[in-house]
Amino acid sequence: MTTQATERFEIVLNTRAGRLTTAVDVPTSFVPVTAIVPLMRRLGEEVQSLEEAQASAEGKMRSCQKGCAACCRMMVPLAPPEAFGLMDAIRSLPTEQRERIAQRLANSKSILLAHGLWHRLVEIGESSQPPDDEALEPINQKYYALRMPCPFLEDEICSIYDERPASCRELLVTTPAEYCQDLVANPVEPIPVPVRIGPVLGLLWGELTGAPVRMIPLPTVADWVERHQHERHRTWQGAQVLDAALDKVWRFLSQSLQQGGSKSAPVGSKPPTKA
């Protein structure tokens, strides 16, 4: 969020792993939807930290560590707000780093073209149909079989760590790290994700713009943003964006609680105080 007049909201959410109470500052002015992305990522991480604490209490410790980049060979989807925000962040990087990223994106495109995947990934990002996990699974498997490193990976470390997509933040496992070297052959146990922020932001974008709910494969993000430049400058009132986003969070938590057999309902309470 930029420095400007804000309104503080307290958010209370019940999850399977406990209750989260947190405060967020939301601009009172009109803002682009990218302004909500850091806030929603933080909210997702705070919710997931409850799941991680519960797993730890059960003797299941997170095995993911810095430099463990096996999962950085998977196809990562981004919602349009994340795609716009990521490209804004890349434009602010030093020239040399931007050039390295551009070269790796170009290399990834060449590899994907050679294996007949590039145009299929572009079609996913432009589809007017909601993302279908079952239909995407063959593409996911073919992509993973390439063992192609993420174009933002440098020396097995994420070069855009602070701006990494929500999907990357949510993949945490408790099984031995070496299992992740082959996710097809090895039984990997992930920490549950009560709220998937990427789909939340995808649904939010669809509601605000009336556009289809899209998820954009990460290697195609620069091309997708270039084609959709005309959409990036739209703005909405800050509290309106927050309310719409929290509605999507509530839906995910409601489903999670029902699947977990809990009778507690998610709560979204936002009494404002001026900040």
- Summarised one tens digit per residue, pLDDT across range 83-138 is 999 999 999 999 999 999 999 999 999 999 999 999 999 999 999 887 777 888 89
> What is the Cα–Cα distance from 57 to 102, expressed in whole angstroms?
43
Task: Give the span between the Cα atoms of 153 and 203, in whole angstroms.
Answer: 28
pTM of the model: 0.89
The DSSP output letter for 217 is E
pLDDT tens digit string along 195-246? 999 999 999 999 999 988 999 999 999 999 999 998 888 999 999 999 999 9
Nearest residue to 15 via CA among 198, 267, 270 = 267
What pLDDT was estimated at residue 83?
Answer: 97
**Which tens digits make up the pLDDT trace of 162-194?**
999 999 999 899 998 888 888 888 888 999 998
Pairing of strands 153-154, 157-158: antiparallel
The token duo for 88 is 């804004």
Ranges assigned E (strand) in the chain: 6-15, 18-27, 30-31, 77-78, 153-154, 157-158, 216-217, 236-237, 272-274
Q: Which helix (H) or strand (E) holds 104?
A: helix 95-114
The total of other beta-carbon atoms located within 10 Å of residue 27's CB is 20
Distance CA 139, CA 158 (A): 23
Cβ count near 226 (within 10 Å) = 9
Rounded Cα distance between 252 and 43, Å, is: 13
Whole-number average pLDDT of the chain: 88
Characterize 75-85 residue by residue with b for buried, 16 or more Cβ atoms within 10 angstroms of its Cβ, and e for exposed.
bbbbbbbbbbb
Query: How many other C-beta atoms are found inside a 10 Å radius of the C-beta of residue 49?
Result: 14
Provide the token pair at 106.
Answer: 């170009």
Residue 188 structure tokens: 């990997």
Whether 272 shows a pLDDT value over 80: the answer reads no
